A and B are shown apart, each in its own frame.
Chain A
């Protein structure tokens, strides 16, 4: 699997996934949710950000199925990669754990943390923010 270099900004996000939570930041100044984790609000440039746990649900904004992939992913293709609009107002890339072809734009999905075949080390960066179809 990809070696994730966890850093001080990303550590709470990765730690949340280990316990099944989608942790995001919120800006105290403009109240908007933020992803990816950072040290400044990309909406208003304020720096007073705090962590909260999102519901972990969202809607598929776009989706593709790679039929060829590289490196450690070559043997996993075909699989579903989507951009999900999380209900709290951020967009994330994800793997949707479902049969290729079964997920469409507009579908509802929910968080389903998964190591995607990598070692389950219990360390931050070893479990990823995958999603699965709702219902």
Chain B
């Protein structure tokens, strides 16, 4: 690690969340970017690299640069789904290490809830033509196929899947901007409408609008910052497939590869990790991720939730903002994982809500999953 030019997160912010028809996808990213830069004590003209993922432009980074009025000399529109922003952290940290950039702005925005005119019939081309005729709703249907196979192999029940949603809701109850804050029981999850067997409605993430921004800064500039920097310790990313038909093993995600790469880069053991922010597009996503990372043995991840370890006050806090299941989920959720991990490692909640603050949090594991379990990216962050 010595001698590397280090990178740290200096500012994070969400835009307005929920249903925001008054905001374009660009306006959301302006909101979040202004807030994240202001928090860091930086200005627009400090930004020399822009990272944006989205489907709203042929090149989101180019389009947003124009809208913000900046001309960054380093652009990255990498879109690997919901894990894009963890990948951006890795790419930006590498560019900082190489001395190519000093201040990277990573942004996301989505108006998917307000749009809701999706699912327009469109022709099935290239590799889509083999799956589309069968009418499987995506992404939920793909995750349902993974859940069914996982249940078959390990005898995990629907109630055990539901425990993930129940635990995550307990964190959402501590988050003032979470969409769903009422108490939730396993029975309520199982009684919610069946969407795609075995996944019920409350096994599925929310559909919201919203945006976020993260500012990553080279260590030369840390002394100027208004916040305590949260250091990037390690990163790994990979892909295993695009369509669910081509996932080699429905119970093992790319976390089995991106996780160890990130851990090795960081020189971190599982015992060092104080808090985990794990992409929870569906309850099954969390269980498969924890097991693929090697954090739990195959078939055993649900124990963390049924025994209360992942909930507030537990020894393995997971998804401390209420997750995509209860807090917010504007399509590609990965940036919100980074925002929450940063706040935990800065101990931002110690004063405002000690129940939400993970005590003495020093190291966080952030893990994004994109597509239909298609891509993963793992980031290790550390309190500096």
From B121, B129, B130, B144, contact of A64 by CB (8 A): B144
**Cβ-based interface call for B123 (8 A):** yes
Q: Is the CB of A62 within 8 A of B152?
A: yes
When A and B form their complex, what is the total count of cross-chain residue pairs whose Cβ atoms lie within 8 Å? 115
B125 neighbours in A (Cβ, 8 Å)? 5, 7
Q: Is the CB of B121 within 8 A of A3?
A: yes
From A35, A73, A95, A125, contact of B129 by CB (8 A): A125
Q: Is the CB of B149 within 8 A of A71?
A: no
Q: Is the CB of B135 within 8 A of A93?
A: no
Interface residues of B in 134-148 (CB under 8 A from A): 134-137, 140-141, 144-146, 148
**Cβ-based interface call for B157 (8 A):** no
Q: Is the CB of A4 within 8 A of B123?
A: yes
In the bound complex, how far is the Cα of B135 from the Cα of A4, in angstroms?
13
Q: Which of A6, A64, A92 has the most CB of B within 10 A?
A: A64
A76-113 interface code vs B (CB 8 A; 1 in, 0 out): 11010101000000011111000000000100000000
A93-B245 in contact given A128-B133, A128-B134 (Cβ < 8 Å): yes
From A70, A76, A94, contact of B119 by CB (8 A): A70
A94-B134 in contact given A62-B145, A64-B196, A67-B194 (Cβ < 8 Å): yes
Q: Is the CB of A93 within 8 A of B149?
A: no
A64-B145 in contact given A3-B121, A5-B125 (Cβ < 8 Å): yes
**Cβ-based interface call for B288 (8 A):** no
In the bound complex, how far is the Cα of B137 from the Cα of A65, in angstroms?
10
A54 neighbours in B (Cβ, 8 Å)? none
Q: Is the CB of B129 within 8 A of A91?
A: no
In the bound complex, how far is the Cα of B124 from the Cα of A1, in angstroms?
10
Q: Is the CB of B135 within 8 A of A67?
A: no
Interface range on chain A (Cβ under 8 Å from partner):
35 or more
| B144 to chain A: closest residue by CB | A64
| A116 to chain B: closest residue by CB | B133
Q: Is the CB of B134 within 8 A of A61?
A: no
| B143 to chain A: closest residue by CB | A64
Q: Which of A6, A66, A71, A76 has the most CB of B within 10 A?
A: A66
**Cβ-based interface call for B195 (8 A):** yes
| B243 to chain A: closest residue by CB | A93
B133 neighbours in A (Cβ, 8 Å)? 1-2, 4, 95, 116, 128
A35 neighbours in B (Cβ, 8 Å)? 130
**Cβ-based interface call for A55 (8 A):** no
B90-129 interface code vs A (CB 8 A; 1 in, 0 out): 0000000000000000000000000000010111111101
Chain B's nearest CB lies how many Å from the CB of A108? 16
Chain A's nearest CB lies how many Å from the CB of B148? 5
**Cβ-based interface call for A33 (8 A):** no
Q: Is the CB of B124 within 8 A of A83?
A: no
Q: Is the CB of B129 within 8 A of A68?
A: no
Q: Is the CB of B250 within 8 A of A64?
A: no
| B129 to chain A: closest residue by CB | A4
**Cβ-based interface call for B193 (8 A):** yes
Q: Is the CB of A63 within 8 A of B145?
A: yes
In the bound complex, how far is the Cα of B304 from the Cα of A87, in angstroms?
38
In the bound complex, how far is the Cα of B124 from the Cα of A4, in angstroms?
5
**Cβ-based interface call for B272 (8 A):** no
In the bound complex, how far is the Cα of B141 from the Cα of A81, in angstroms?
9
From B124, B126, B148, B198, contact of A2 by CB (8 A): B124
Q: Is the CB of A105 within 8 A of B137?
A: no
B136 neighbours in A (Cβ, 8 Å)? 64, 66, 69, 81, 93
In the bound complex, how far is the Cα of B129 from the Cα of A128, in angstroms?
10
B194 neighbours in A (Cβ, 8 Å)? 67
Q: Is the CB of B130 within 8 A of A93?
A: yes
Q: Is the CB of B121 within 8 A of A83?
A: no
Q: Is the CB of B127 within 8 A of A36?
A: yes
B123 neighbours in A (Cβ, 8 Å)? 2-5
**Cβ-based interface call for B214 (8 A):** no
Hey, which bits of chain A sit against chain B, CB under 8 A? Answer: 1-7, 10, 35-36, 61-73, 76-77, 79, 81, 83, 91-95, 105, 116, 125, 128, 130
Could you list 20 further interchain pairs (A-B, Cβ under 8 angstroms) beyond the known A62-B145, A91-B246?
A: A2-B121, A2-B124, A10-B129, A36-B127, A64-B136, A66-B135, A68-B137, A69-B135, A70-B119, A70-B135, A70-B137, A77-B135, A83-B145, A91-B245, A92-B245, A93-B130, A93-B131, A93-B244, A93-B245, A105-B152
What are 30 A-B contacts defined by CB distance under 8 Å? A2-B123, A2-B124, A3-B121, A4-B124, A4-B133, A5-B125, A5-B129, A36-B127, A62-B145, A62-B146, A64-B196, A65-B197, A66-B135, A66-B197, A67-B194, A67-B195, A67-B196, A70-B119, A71-B121, A81-B134, A81-B141, A81-B145, A91-B246, A92-B130, A93-B130, A94-B134, A95-B133, A95-B134, A116-B134, A116-B135
